[in-house]
Amino acid sequence: MALGIGGGAQLGIALEAVAGTYLAPTKFVPFNSESLQLQQTTVWRRPIRRTVGIVGAVAGDYHPEGDVEVEAVEDVVAYFMQVSRMTIVKSGSTPNFVYTGSPSAGAVPAKTMSITIERVTGQVFGYTGMVVGSFGFSISDGLLMYKATMIGRDEASQSAPTPTWPTSTPYGAGTYSIEIPTSSAVTDTDTFEFQVEDNAEAQFRLKSTGRAADFVKYGERAVTLTVERDFLTRADYDAFKALTAQSVTLTASKGVNNSISIVMPVATKDTYEVTVPGQGDLVRARVAYNGVINGSGNDYQLIVKTQEDIT
């Protein structure tokens, strides 16, 4: 019996010129985990007849779906922004670019991505029409992490590419700035989780050209942020009781031209928990925010500064 060994695994991405049409990788991405799988709705037939077993199977619709988790480096996050439910404004010039992503109300994605994964040497999976259905940033052992739930149209075997790995370094201790509210830096926060859920769903139509999804549509959006802080005074707690909104900015920076900033222009506290784990311990506050749209219709913004030129 032969076993597939994934030690040589690689993941590559490419922005598709034609939605749903496979494109070989133009960017290779070191990743921590991935769970992309083909979701297939097989119909197991069990009509009433003189048998208690399954009579047969009828092929149903299918689409690829799963999570990709990577270290949140600016030149990788900028690619996933392109296939998220946001409008991207590119500014700056070579070699320093700024990608400002603002949430879109669009029902379908503006761009799609091909994802190539070689899990076992020579066994390549090519996922097409992939978009970001939800994404989030978090801290893991001091590292800034990015996790995207991807959903797409089709999958097929492809040729094995030769990777060229990026050299950008991740964000770790000493690179973070937390502003609650924006422009008021705080140093009493040690964890945060930021999440955007766009409720993406694969869509299927009756056709004679295969079983893959026809497109992906988006639903209602929810933007949430959870932070853990030292509890110092009741002022922030009283603001929670009064439903006082504030702007929150989280920035990871390695310099003026290499950074990722998450902005919630109108953040309203949803829950506020004050805990005392034990006698003599720190009093901690776990605060959860919901993002509310501002006058421009933005419940968040994502600003990435990088040397990556994405067209």
- The domain segmentation of the chain, as residue ranges, is 10-42+61-160+171-306
- pLDDT (average), residues 138-162: 96
On the CB side of 139, how many CA atoms lie within 13 Å of its CA?
21
Give the tens place of pLDDT for each residue, 159-199.
Answer: 999 999 999 999 999 999 999 999 999 999 999 999 999 99
- pLDDT (average), residues 144-151: 98
d(CA 121, CA 13): 18
User: To the nearest whole number, what is the mean pLDDT of the chain?
Assistant: 95
Give the tens place of pLDDT for each residue, 257-285.
Answer: 999 999 999 999 999 999 887 888 899 99
- Nearest Cα residue to 262 out of 165, 163, 139, 161: 139
Place of tokens 């801290």: 139
d(CA 278, CA 132): 42
Give the tens place of pLDDT for each residue, 98-144.
Answer: 999 999 999 999 999 999 999 999 999 999 999 999 999 999 999 99
On the CB side of 47, how many CA atoms lie within 13 Å of its CA?
5
d(CA 108, CA 117): 25
- Nearest Cα residue to 155 out of 121, 119, 206: 119
Q: Among the residues of 60-171, which ranges form H helices?
A: 74-82
Q: Among the residues of the chain, which ranges form H helices?
A: 74-82, 235-241
Do you find a cis peptide bond into 95, omega within 30 degrees of 0?
A: yes
Helix and strand numbers, DSSP H then E, in the chain? 2, 23
